[in-house]
Amino acid sequence: MKIGILTSGGDTPGMNAVIRAAYIKCKLLGHELIGFKNGWKGLLENITVDITDQILDQIDLGGTILGSGRTNPLKIDNGLELIKETINNNGIECVVAIGGEDTLGVANKLTNEGFPMIGVPKTIDNDLAATDYTFGFNTAITIATEAMDRLSTTAKSHDRVIVVEVMGRHAGWMTLHSGIATGAHVILIPEYQISFEQMSNLIKKRYSEGNTWGIIAVSEGYGFEDTENVDAETDEFGHVRLEKLEIGKQIAERLTKTLNIPTRAITLGHVQRGGSPTTFDRVLSTQLGLKAIELSNDKKFGMMPALKGTKIQSVALSDAVSKLKIVDEESWQVARDIMGI
């Protein structure tokens, strides 16, 4: 059996570990694994990548050896025909798409059109439904946690408030986890509103108690009720480039004006996606890669492996993309308790 594989959307630590595991399982089952370059673009334009034994030593390699991109084949007039041609010309019987909500949304639509698709859930944002965690999330929050720990010592030394902008689009999982892990004094996530006044009161209270420094963790997708919308460029899936809105910088400037305290704003940005995956992500990626080939072998198209508790199960792609997994109230309550609100 010839199995195609691609990585699409934002790169995520653990992608190579998934490819490696898929390669190992293909060898065990006597299948051939063919890589496609730069996500859906490779499948549309028939650009393949040889996956060789070299991948066996690359479980720790960040990024993706296949390259990634945000091409949306459903936005291209004859996109489906082009994909069909590539699949037929290469004699491919199944395509494994490693991606987040956009990629798996496409994979789900292709499944409905009769294409043999298997998904693998990835995203540092952890916002995919039907799986407890996505690979890459653990690495991203580990990086954000280390950054906030470091920022705390410099904030303390200089009597400053540092606003740390964390990735995650419209799901606050990364900000929540790294904020809790570092004891951030304010945690702002898109799912729940804290007003500017409430936030500055928390900082004011700290200062009145003699703690003349602070860390505010804010999601890139956060906005106060009165935050103005700014036009920013969108990708092929219609997502705004949120770092362009600079919510961290806006908060820092407003806080300086209101409380007359020194502030700095830091955007963690793509640092959160770079480099080696953590142990947790390496193991999860390996489990997902192995299972994806098992599902391909069994022709369970339209499915994806998912982490449920401590076990890998298979779920329908349609369930994974039916809604965004946003921060639930119980998880948010932890942050509220820590902040004392």
- Which of these is catalytic: 102, 125, 127, 281? 125
Q: Is 162 in the site for ligand F6P (CB under 6 A)?
A: no
Shortest gap between Cβ of 217 and ligand F6P (angstroms)? 14
CB of 166 to ligand F6P, least distance (A): 9
Q: Does 297 bind ligand F6P (CB under 6 A)?
A: no
Residues 17 and 136: beta-carbon distance below 8 Å: no
CB 34 within 8 A of CB 46: no
Asked whether the CA dihedral 75, 76, 81, 83 is positive or negative, the reply is: negative
102 a catalytic residue:
no
Separation CA 66–CA 7 (nearest Å): 7
The yes or no reply on residue 94 touching ligand F6P (CB under 6 A) is: no
Q: Which residues contact 305 (CB under 8 A, 6 or more apart)?
A: 120, 121, 287, 288, 291, 292, 295, 312, 313, 314, 315
Residue 273 as a binder of ligand F6P (CB under 6 A): the answer is: yes
Residue range at the interface with ligand F6P (CB under 6 A); choices 36-44, 119-127, 178-186, 331-339: 119-127
Q: Point out which span in 121-129, 141-149, 197-205, 253-261 binds ligand F6P (CB under 6 A).
A: 121-129
Residue closer to ligand F6P (CB basis): 10 or 121: 10
The correct pick among 16, 111, 123, 142 for binding ligand F6P (CB under 6 A) is 123
Position among 105, 121, 168, 248 found at the interface with ligand F6P (CB under 6 A): 168
Distance (Å, whole) CA 20 – CA 107: 21
- The residues that bridge with 99 in the sheet, in sequence order, are 121
Spatial distance between the Cα atoms of 34 and 244, rounded to a whole number of angstroms: 37
Among 100, 179, 277, 305, binds ligand F6P (CB under 6 A): 100
Indicate which single residue of 22, 92, 167, 303 sits in contact with ligand F6P (rule: CB under 6 A): 167
Contact 268, 167 (CB under 8 A): yes
Contact between 306 and ligand F6P per CB under 6 A: no
- Three-class HEC string of 48-96: EECCCHHHHHCCCCCCCCCCCCCCCHHHCCCHHHHHHHHHHHHCCCEEE
Residue 72 interacting with ligand F6P (CB under 6 A)? no
CA-based nearest residue to 45, from 78, 7, 93, 91:
78
Per-residue tokens: 95: 């395509």
339: Cβ contacts below 8 Å, ≥ 6 apart: 185, 186, 187, 202
CA angle 38, 233, 263 (to 5 degrees): 110
Out of 20, 25, 169, 325, the only residue in the binding site for ligand F6P (CB under 6 A) is: 169
Contact 229, 199 (CB under 8 A): no
The verdict on 281 binding ligand F6P (CB under 6 A) reads no
Number of chain residues interacting with ligand F6P (CB under 6 A): 13
Nearer Cβ to ligand F6P (235/294): 235
The only residue of 3, 94, 117, 124 in contact with ligand F6P, by rule CB under 6 A: 124
**Is there binding between residue 165 and ligand F6P (CB under 6 A)?**
no
What is the DSSP code (8-state) at residue 117?
E
- Nearest approach, Cβ of 282 to ligand F6P (angstroms)? 19
Interacting residues with ligand F6P between 230 and 269 (CB under 6 A): 235, 241-242
CB of 80: closest distance to ligand F6P in angstroms? 24
Q: Shortest distance, CB of residue 239 to ligand F6P, whole angstroms?
A: 7
Q: Which residues bind ligand F6P (CB under 6 A)?
A: 10, 100, 123-125, 167-169, 220, 235, 241-242, 273
Q: Looking at the annotation, which residues are catalytic?
A: 125
